[in-house]
Chain A
Amino acid sequence: MIPFNFEYYKPATAREAVDLFHTLQTRDKNPMYYGGGTEIISFSRLYQLYPKAVIDIKGIPECNVLEFQNDRLVIGAAKTLTQLQESNLFPLLSWCAGRVADHTIRNKITLGGNICSRLPYREAVLALLVADCEVVIQRKGETRTEPLESIFNQSLHLDTGDLLLQVTVNKSHTCLPFFSTKRTANGDVNYPQDRIGYPVLSTAFMKNSGRIHAAFSGLCPFPFRSHELEEVLSDQEMATELKLAKAVSYLPAPILTDIDGTAAYREFVLRNTLARAVEQLEGVNCIC
């Protein structure tokens, strides 16, 4: 139960939502956009969040798109992880999103919510990062499209009140060969999901024109894609052992130690996973 009162709004357009946000902001309502609500509810009940107003984005048409439009897959921010999985328009995204939380919760969690989560894992982001996707942002008075990587650095950098409307992916990238793993403290999570938990290491690898793209979650306190690391992995000449040693030196932050695993163990899992990824993606081509 949430032990405080808050205002609830459900605007019908993206513009209206953003304008409302700014109005509420000036009235000190500490507004938050509301997608599936899993974090707002579970954190608010423990006073870890304290919004005085929430703006439900599920009524905004752009946020509810899930289809190919011309040469791009367009995914609205309010689509649930279950919907992404069931449509399976982008298999790697199904894998990454489909191992978050459990099925009941994924019926609520939205793609936008997962990208903007306060938790450090945000595993759906991994598929989006390696697929070079773009994001559509509603700002005050304008809609802008930008590459995800240009504004995703540890987290999605939006100005106050900006609303993530959609994610779009080049159609040809949705069917590139991929390899994706998730390890929790209790062991591997396969796909379809057979185990639940936060990642010790969650990965997404994609092979595009001979080059391996790689993104990681659970390793550092944020999900990331590393181009330096990709360079090493994609090097045809380098021996695997050397690749692994080099790759580990290209991490953007020290490896995490928490209740799910120590840094030393995470590094052990990372090395094993990288070796498997290189082996799996060797010589494979587009799955379309």
Chain B
Amino acid sequence: METTLAVGKSIPKKESWDKVTGAAKYNTDFNEPGLLHAWLVTSLYSHAIIKSIDKTKALEIPGVLSVVTGDSMPRLTGPVLEDRPPLAIGRVRYFGEPIAIVVADSLTRAKEAAGLVYVEYQPLPTVNSVKEALEEKSLLHEQLATYRHQKANEIFSLPGTNIANHIKIRKGNMTRGWAESEVVVDSVVKLPQSVHAAMEPRNARAEIKPDGKVIIHTSTQGPYDVKKDLSYYFNLEESKIVVLVPLVGGGFGGKTTSQLEILTLLASKAVHGRPVKLVESREQDFTSSPGHLGLEARVKLGATREGLLKAIEITCFVNTGAYTDSGTKMTRAMAADCTGPYNIEHVHGDAYCVYTNHTYVTAFRSFGRLSHTFAIERAMDKLAFALGIDPLELRLKNAIKPGHFTPTAVRLNSSNIGNLSACLERLKKLINWNEGIRIVTAHNKVRAKGISCLWKTSSSPPNATAGAIITFNRDGTLNLNVGAVEIGMGIKTALAQILSEKLQMDINKINVVMEVNTETSPKHWKTVASMTGFMVGNAVLDAAEDVIKQLCRTAAVVLRCPPEVLQVGGGRVFMKADPDIFVEFKNIVCGYEYPDGSSIGGEIIGRGNFIMHHLLPMDPETGRGRLGPAWAVGAQAVEVELDMLDYNYKILKAATVIDAGKVLNPKNARGVTMGGMCMGLGYGCREANLYDSGGVRINPQFRTYHLIRFGENPEYLVDFVETPQVDAPYGMRGIGEHGIIGMPAALANALSAAAQVNLDFTPLTPEAIWQAKKEVMS
């Protein structure tokens, strides 16, 4: 589809001026008279019985109004499996778990009083790893069998164990698969939990108006889920709940689930509905709120001598921490994409969601694929080595294509899978692959490259929806109102571009409502899964069609012709055959007034919606089903320089080629991809939640938890292939998360090649490489 005006142009984000001048407001920037402040009392143990909570001293502090504890809400919560009390009830299951909320008239007093809430614990054995969970060193959830959930086709828990979910993939015939495999490699990988580390820590404020209306101001990716959840947990009509979301300072999946919204509402209830604000400290954001999953996985991969993949057996153990939240869903998502973007006929996959006494997890950029891809891509490199085939050629040979079937038996076509081979070919040039994987340079240094492929579809519910409303101003400019949250990726601008293109009008004449207000913005499922451009974009196109129809109807009367001969563009409705015959938007959008003052038409209001179609839950025994509408595929590479004497290394280059369908905004696409790559490299080289033997987090702050810093970034090479997804706006594919997915794997492959030792874990610190080398040599 040819696009001319806005789509495919690097239009600066509409909120940029506010952001770069510091004028942009985030949720915690808002204060109001009478606002109360809350501070959390959190668990000092990873697993313990709460024997008593003494609030006396805390309540003696002047200005302290309430100390709220678990008995104020004796029920369990969770987006899928309801296993988590918002405030601990009788027992804590992770270090940092919220036990009480202190509400006071100032933050200082709330914080001071929180230090005076005395909790008496009786420690229980800590389940400190997946291994200890499977050995059932201790059971975290004895009542697992009784936990409620509303998704019978998603949850297959094993009561009496620490396994909250078990997802199976059974495709083809394993006996045949192994019989056809002449070479088999076996690979085990281990990846730690980590944190989202969004710049804006999680926060919320709640208020209950005298008429019972609940107002929640929050930094979330899922305003409509917050509304739905609070309605369900507190037994309130949805019309009594308003959720307001300004610009969000990063989320990376960490703001997809309801947590602080529940806590602030509890706090507000305890003080007769007065507004209460709760802002987590960095330490609390890292330990009390959910983080990123850990994974231990085993991959057995079989191929012919020519390198054609024949069979795969994969077992994934997801460390979901103390509660499941999105853990069960990510386990399922991993299973659904379990082969990586390769055509494998015989597949046997098992994914388990495992409880441990670590911080619980929620969605994290890529929804599990980052970790799972590491397992697949390390196995692919080992297979290439065993076969003596170039790793890139092996991937090309097996790249998934139209006509193939996914692990969940979805038949692929060009629209829903794109072109992985083209990505690999482009990557090959970009990273200068042909110069060699490992090159010895001077002074004991080697330069080496590693690659990884990636794919991801969404895991949205089959009935996920999005809406869009277009209204006009008297001068013919227009307002676009959608439920998508602006979290830094430039979605509001992308949607304006889609609308600008469709109406063929200047993007500067389109005002996008930046905030989301669930009372007035049309619902959008949530701003996750790289699906917002696809879903809300389609709703915007639908709303634009509606607007065009209405504009042409009024213009037809004015121009005395049938609506069919009219066209919209440049803020006018004109005759296709003779553009000089036209009427301007400003003369018809609020009704057309004849010279004598009589009027027709009326205000034009566009409405559009979108609902997912043909998605099907997975079969419990075989995994057959369709989780998302399409995949985005890509290939990535990392080039490192390793010092063979002391294992210090530099990341020289990182490259990504993604099939973006259609690049809506080139600079923005590059930016969001680079951001993902940087995040993936950080996770690959240094990030990990560290626990002591008692399950206490020992690096819960930036002093000890390091991210990649600005000056450490490599040269980024980013390019796109464009194979349109035909049911998406202008053919675009969601690529917001994808930059992160293959980076840790590509880094591990590059460093494994450089050091000539298998590195099957993260973080890949110089010490860890030294250790791996030492083990091989001894």
Docked complex Cα distance between A50 and B582 (Å): 75
Does A47 sit at the interface, judged by CB under 8 A?
Answer: yes
Residues of A contacting B: mostly: loop
Assuming the A-B contacts A186-B685, A269-B646, are A196 and B112 also in contact, with contact meaning beta carbons closer than 8 angstroms in the complex?
A: no
Does B712 sit at the interface, judged by CB under 8 A?
Answer: yes
Docked complex Cα distance between A42 and B650 (Å): 31
Question: Which A residues from 234 to 282 make CB contacts under 8 A with B?
Answer: 259, 261-262, 265, 268-269, 272
Contact of B709 among A196, A200, A261, A269 (CB under 8 A): A196
Assuming the A-B contacts A187-B649, A188-B648, are A195 and B712 also in contact, with contact meaning beta carbons closer than 8 angstroms in the complex?
A: yes
Docked complex Cα distance between A262 and B709 (Å): 24
Q: Are A185 and B767 in contact (CB under 8 A)?
A: yes
Contact of B711 among A46, A185, A187, A194 (CB under 8 A): A194
Q: Are A1 and B686 in contact (CB under 8 A)?
A: no
Does A183 sit at the interface, judged by CB under 8 A?
Answer: yes
Does B181 sit at the interface, judged by CB under 8 A?
Answer: no
Does B249 sit at the interface, judged by CB under 8 A?
Answer: no
* Chain B residue nearest to A1 in the complex (CB): B107
Does B4 sit at the interface, judged by CB under 8 A?
Answer: no
Does B770 sit at the interface, judged by CB under 8 A?
Answer: yes
Q: Are B709 and A187 in contact (CB under 8 A)?
A: no
Contact of B771 among A188, A194, A259, A265 (CB under 8 A): A265
Contact of B108 among A1, A186, A195, A265 (CB under 8 A): A1
Does B765 sit at the interface, judged by CB under 8 A?
Answer: yes
* Chain A residue nearest to B281 in the complex (CB): A45
Assuming the A-B contacts A185-B686, A259-B699, A272-B646, are A197 and B112 also in contact, with contact meaning beta carbons closer than 8 angstroms in the complex?
A: no
Q: Are A3 and B767 in contact (CB under 8 A)?
A: no
Interfacial chain B residues near A42, Cβ < 8 Å: 703
- Shortest A114–chain B CB gap in Å is 16
Q: Are A265 and B767 in contact (CB under 8 A)?
A: yes
Q: Contact flags (1/0) for A166-199 with B, using CB distance below 8 Å?
A: 0000000000000000010111100000111100
* Chain B residue nearest to A275 in the complex (CB): B645
Docked complex Cα distance between A265 and B774 (Å): 11
Contact of B706 among A194, A197, A261 (CB under 8 A): A197
Interfacial chain B residues near A268, Cβ < 8 Å: 646, 770
* Chain A residue nearest to B692 in the complex (CB): A259
Assuming the A-B contacts A194-B711, A259-B690, A259-B698, are A185 and B765 also in contact, with contact meaning beta carbons closer than 8 angstroms in the complex?
A: yes
Docked complex Cα distance between A186 and B711 (Å): 13
Most buried by B among A42, A187, A261, A269: A187
- Shortest A198–chain B CB gap in Å is 8
Does B115 sit at the interface, judged by CB under 8 A?
Answer: yes
Interfacial chain B residues near A185, Cβ < 8 Å: 686, 706, 765-767
Does B584 sit at the interface, judged by CB under 8 A?
Answer: no
Does B283 sit at the interface, judged by CB under 8 A?
Answer: yes
- Shortest A239–chain B CB gap in Å is 18
- Shortest A275–chain B CB gap in Å is 9
Q: Contact flags (1/0) for A102-129 with B, using CB distance below 8 Å?
A: 1000000000000000000000000000
Question: Which B residues from 686 to 718 make CB contacts under 8 A with A?
Answer: 686, 690, 698-699, 703-704, 706, 709, 711-712
Interfacial chain B residues near A261, Cβ < 8 Å: 767
Q: Are B645 and A272 in contact (CB under 8 A)?
A: yes
- Shortest A123–chain B CB gap in Å is 15
Interface residues on B, range: 20 to 34
Assuming the A-B contacts A194-B711, A261-B767, A265-B771, are A46 and B706 also in contact, with contact meaning beta carbons closer than 8 angstroms in the complex?
A: no
Q: Are B698 and A265 in contact (CB under 8 A)?
A: no
Interfacial chain A residues near B626, Cβ < 8 Å: none
Q: Are A187 and B115 in contact (CB under 8 A)?
A: no
Docked complex Cα distance between A272 and B645 (Å): 8
Docked complex Cα distance between A228 and B686 (Å): 36
Contact of A3 among B115, B686, B703, B766 (CB under 8 A): B115
- Shortest A6–chain B CB gap in Å is 12
Docked complex Cα distance between A178 and B767 (Å): 27
Does B111 sit at the interface, judged by CB under 8 A?
Answer: yes
Interfacial chain A residues near B770, Cβ < 8 Å: 265, 268
- Shortest B64–chain A CB gap in Å is 13
Interfacial chain A residues near B112, Cβ < 8 Å: 3-4
Most buried by B among A4, A194, A265, A272: A265
- Shortest B755–chain A CB gap in Å is 14
Assuming the A-B contacts A259-B698, A265-B767, are A186 and B686 also in contact, with contact meaning beta carbons closer than 8 angstroms in the complex?
A: yes
Assuming the A-B contacts A261-B767, A268-B770, are A183 and B648 also in contact, with contact meaning beta carbons closer than 8 angstroms in the complex?
A: yes
Q: Contact flags (1/0) for A193-231 with B, using CB distance below 8 Å?
A: 011110010000000000000000000000000000000
* Chain B residue nearest to A273 in the complex (CB): B646
Q: Contact flags (1/0) for B95-122 with A, using CB distance below 8 Å?
A: 0000000000001100110010000000
Assuming the A-B contacts A187-B766, A272-B646, are A196 and B706 also in contact, with contact meaning beta carbons closer than 8 angstroms in the complex?
A: yes
Question: Which B residues from 376 to 425 make CB contacts under 8 A with A?
Answer: none
Interfacial chain A residues near B690, Cβ < 8 Å: 259
Docked complex Cα distance between A195 and B704 (Å): 14
Interfacial chain B residues near A259, Cβ < 8 Å: 690, 698-699, 704
Docked complex Cα distance between A158 and B504 (Å): 76
Interfacial chain A residues near B709, Cβ < 8 Å: 102, 195-196
Interfacial chain B residues near A102, Cβ < 8 Å: 709
* Chain A residue nearest to B113 in the complex (CB): A3
Docked complex Cα distance between A262 and B711 (Å): 27
Assuming the A-B contacts A186-B706, A262-B767, A272-B646, are A3 and B111 also in contact, with contact meaning beta carbons closer than 8 angstroms in the complex?
A: yes
Docked complex Cα distance between A102 and B712 (Å): 13
Q: Are B645 and A47 in contact (CB under 8 A)?
A: no
Question: Which A residues from 2 to 25 make CB contacts under 8 A with B?
Answer: 3-4
Docked complex Cα distance between A195 and B650 (Å): 11
* Chain A residue nearest to B698 in the complex (CB): A259
Interfacial chain B residues near A195, Cβ < 8 Å: 709, 711-712
- Shortest A88–chain B CB gap in Å is 20
- Shortest A187–chain B CB gap in Å is 5
- Shortest A262–chain B CB gap in Å is 7
* Chain B residue nearest to A45 in the complex (CB): B281
Question: Which B residues from 637 to 679 make CB contacts under 8 A with A?
Answer: 645-646, 648-650
Interfacial chain B residues near A265, Cβ < 8 Å: 767, 770-771
- Shortest B324–chain A CB gap in Å is 28
- Shortest B40–chain A CB gap in Å is 13
Interfacial chain A residues near B699, Cβ < 8 Å: 259
* Chain A residue nearest to B649 in the complex (CB): A187
Q: Contact flags (1/0) for A16-46 with B, using CB distance below 8 Å?
A: 0000000000000000000000000010011
Docked complex Cα distance between A261 and B646 (Å): 14
* Chain B residue nearest to A102 in the complex (CB): B709
Interfacial chain B residues near A188, Cβ < 8 Å: 648
* Chain A residue nearest to B708 in the complex (CB): A186
- Shortest B689–chain A CB gap in Å is 11
* Chain B residue nearest to A193 in the complex (CB): B711
Contact of B765 among A3, A46, A186, A272 (CB under 8 A): A186
* Chain B residue nearest to A192 in the complex (CB): B711
Docked complex Cα distance between A200 and B686 (Å): 14
* Chain B residue nearest to A196 in the complex (CB): B709
Extra pairs beyond A46-B283, A183-B648 (12, CB < 8 Å): A3-B112, A4-B108, A45-B281, A102-B709, A187-B649, A194-B712, A195-B711, A200-B767, A259-B690, A262-B767, A268-B646, A272-B646
A-B contact pairs, 14 of them (CB 8 A): A3-B108, A42-B703, A183-B648, A183-B766, A185-B765, A186-B765, A187-B650, A195-B709, A195-B712, A259-B698, A259-B699, A262-B767, A265-B771, A272-B646
The 8 lowest CB-CB distance pairs between A and B, nearest first, are A3-B111, A265-B767, A187-B648, A272-B646, A3-B112, A186-B686, A188-B648, A194-B711
